[in-house]
Structure 1
Amino acid sequence: MKTFSEKLTTFIMSQGMTKKEFGEHIKSDRQAVLNYTNGRTPSIKFIYQILDKYPDFDLNYYLKDWIDSPQKLVKVDNFNSVHESSSNYKDQKEDILKEIKALNEKVLLLLEK
């Protein structure tokens, strides 16, 4: 199994960039890229910087063999798939439903005009 660092290094090379150029491209610094390609745990900010420039960056592939989650919010099952715990969304469910209802009411009011 390849580690996140190995997969990231391969990805950077596939883009035809050096680690420095990749860091500049995703608006990160060279040292962060070096750290994450040398085995250090990537920050969420770094992941978002990659996703901002590469929306098709497949997190399931890059993280499925390597997960570091002290909150145990992400787990790897026997099928090597990354799953977020459904409990992450329970608290947000009611807020999201309220927001949807409010937006629906606004749309209905606009349609009545």
Structure 2
Amino acid sequence: PKMRLSCKVKGRDYFGSLVWDGRNPGEAVLEEMPRHERFRKGDTIVTSGYSAVFPEGIPVGTIISHEKEHDDNFYALRIRLLTDFSTLSTVRVIANDMRQELDSLTAGEENDSRTNP
């Protein structure tokens, strides 16, 4: 329930954070989607690629509704997930042997951006 996954609407470059609000195991919310953009029921949600865990383009779900967020500058999209997590019985955990190297490279980029504005 604490996981946030960077996702986007398939074919568009706007991305937000997919979170589970604890209501329904078959649904999640894609937060911080720009209000000036038009979203349609049935649009496909995919991973954005802005993650060390999931590559870009993995289908996650479809839009079932949208609503304004509390500050009115963004939409929160309600997503029907393609996987019903309440019925999972077998999962596969994949270890990333390169994770430590990736983390060290990312830390180096962060240090470079602080010293070179």
Greater per-residue helix proportion:
1
> Which structure has greater strand proportion?
2
Structure 2 length as normaliser, TM-score? 0.29
**TM-score, L = length of structure 1:** 0.30
